[in-house]
Structure 1
């Protein structure tokens, strides 16, 4: 029996979480039978164009997903839900977002891949907002009120129409993970980078024999493969992108960033762009990482919002923390020196060998640094905060007494005064010293 039939039969009484995909064109009235229990509702992948005016009857609802439905405006009824914290309307057909649609406790808003040209000033009046995902829209500006979003940590602005970086975001004290590629503000430089990247080796699909699936991320699926390279057979990894838009940006931007990042012992290297795929899929050919390496952590959960989730038994020695911190600081400084910010410097984008070696990958949120030196320094210091958070996470999982100098460094990288944070080149130098 499918979920809708079970709901109508009264078999889901007391449910706190429900996913309902049944080609719906109308909101099922039976959902109100769960009004006193339902906290998470996923209606993605249906054909809904509206939500009922009495949706507030679901008074315990905290999380609502309606992605992939043909809504043209964010329903204003969402603003009446007292406990609603997370909203996901990705890949709908949204053109309008009104102030009335933003609930007072809004913490996480996903409006990726729509047609939105303007967001209301009221967005800056939601003090709990931590994550805002607006990639793949038609935005040219953000309201000045966003300067008041003192809890905002993750912001996705890629693939919009920004001619300049919005001034309101450049002094946000907690902004840490920012992606802004594929905008007019850097279009000319991005084209040059892509042209240069295209001159590098392009690897034909016919020269690859795909093997087992190794993993999956927000932007693509990774397989092991054997490449018949000019120098002979070679084991590699192939990342096949899922589509034309991810929560972070576009595959083209990720490819250009990966190929222009250069080589570094603590980075997963890119070998070339995938070419001549029979279904015209885009992809990257990457260095194959040794089997001893695995994901250091999982991505943030609904509860943690902007913090990764580590396995309960994850522990590090004091020596390992110091070595990993030095390696990651060096890798970020290397990227900054190549005119890039990673934009998604998280443990879930790091592979770990269980000891003291790490490899940073996934350039889906990477962006070119602007030519303006002051802005470039600000953006690098956003990434300093990401490093400080990661170092703090490692120190809390250290199996030995914490090095006071490392704890002080983690705090220094996270201080609210952006200009007082050390750049990663300085951090790397200090750790090496």
Structure 2
């Protein structure tokens, strides 16, 4: 261990992380106070303990040469994959998902650590193959590396956590130089899957059946005919491309395959999505469809944020949280409490701190001479930005409710420690950025 490394860190990155964590502890304490001013929760104490453990981990990782992770990438990946697999059958049921392994009053969520393990092994593979001209092979293998954790986590089922692997994949592949058309393909595919999944629900709950033709996306016979027709055309186009090497044949296959996969996945989604997950999609479109049920969270969250005004009501003066109008207020909706008590100005400060962290991570990624390190930072940056955008967007009603925490602020030991591990590895890369 080289203790001198502790004096060479990116101070602004660490300081921003610590300020956000402090805000989180303060808000978690506030969320535990009821309308009579009585503290009814000790979650803030647990969060302090997790924070201290996280700081120790950061210090250890700064002194530890991150390049040694290269040799253990597969072991970390398989270990946490097996832990996630264990939770599917024997895990503790929390909020409809078996994602936890309990230890008395404490528990861990292995999927949070699997994110970091996946970033490391994905970075190792892409660094190993960076000289390869076989972009399709790199893309497919990288997809499998990320797809396995997503599949296991979806079986828990935990849709929100599974979605986090998508920005990890996209950010790392982009920085690794994988052909842009494959990355664009992934983005278009995700968009089409979401579109075809929501379309029938929008017709059923919002339009009240006004457009009957949309029901075809729920009819297995019609979907099967469409799939077969597009497969036939794609097959002919692929043959034409191989025989005549005309680009338009390639693009026919490219776009038709998007629709083939998107229709298939969206149709399967309607069969496997739980009722509460479907209602989350519906209330995202219109929370007043079910204002006292699934729409309650969004309505109360928007009310809390709006009531904070410019300067906020003041610390411990929030009403939405203290009168228990906000559900899961110490976890998913921590930003709502923060905005109610700290106002628009406080929200801007929060945004600025996250922006500073992302900018410092981008600086590390640009200045490091090691591709493995650069890819790790890229993956972690994608994860961090996604968590922020989805969680804050969810509390404002512009993103579906997915159960994704706001890193550093939301209550939860596993998510906090995984975020601290990511920061610790980034700082380890920073202090060794000029070493080969």
Relative to its length, the structure with more helix (as a share) is: 2
Do these two structures clear the TM 0.5 threshold for a shared fold by scoring above it?
A: no
Q: TM-score, normalised by structure 2?
A: 0.22
Relative to its length, the structure with more strand (as a share) is: 1
Q: TM-score, normalised by structure 1?
A: 0.23
